[in-house]
Amino acid sequence: MTEDFLTMGLRKDRYLKAIELLEQFDEEIKATIRDIGQRMMKCQPDLFIEGVEGDVRLRRKPFSSKSWARVDYEMDPNRTPAGQQQHLNVHLYWISPTEYDRHDVDGALRAFGYKIKGASTETDTEVIQAMGDNSMLDTAPDPFGDNTVFYRHVSSKTEIEETAEAMINHFETFGNRYSGE
């Protein structure tokens, strides 16, 4: 850190402005993922307890391989396979490109998607097979656990909105496979 950097940061309130921008971004992304999660639940209302509130969390770790914003919605245990506590998880992950052997990306990969936490590997595999090659979403192993993530890389609000529509359609089509029936 140089003297000029610190001096200009103090004189122009850069620190306060950076905090304000960060808080604004946090609120915007939390509202966005909560809205998308609620829209997804409306596609498969029988999988959720009526009135379930989403648990929104953020993890900020600059230059971390796994920073994220996410919302989890508990699924109705009476509608999921016996012994499986499942959650609909809508998320935005910031991941180091090297984790995917990507050298064409400057900065972080931003993966926007969803998964069913606690789902069986068999169910995830069944959904992937049913998707076929024409899916609007990519799949990958969850960097935080055992489930499959259905996602797209995003870099704009428009791409988030387009991905949200693909996620909602995907969950409307395949979400019932996560029920115990």
Q: Is the per-residue pLDDT at 25 higher than 70?
A: yes
pLDDT at 62: 67
When divided into structural domains, the chain yields a total of 1
pLDDT at 50: 86
The predicted model gives 27-34 an average pLDDT of 95
pTM across the whole model: 0.88
Compute the radius of gyration of the chain from its Cα atoms. 19
pLDDT tens profile 47-90: 998 888 888 998 887 655 578 899 999 999 888 887 689 999 99
Element (H, E) at 26: helix 14-43
Which of residues 115 and 10 earns the better pLDDT score?
115
DSSP code at position 7: H
Average pLDDT for the chain? 88
Percent of the chain scored above 90 by pLDDT? Answer: 56
Q: What is the DSSP string of 76-139?
A: PTTTS-TT---EEEEEEEEE-GGGGT--S-SS-EEEEEEEEET--HHHHHHHHHHHGGG-SSEE
Q: Rounded distance, CA 68 to CA 171, Å?
A: 21
The predicted model gives 96-111 an average pLDDT of 78
At 171, list the tokens: 């969950």
Print the domain residue range for 106: 3-178
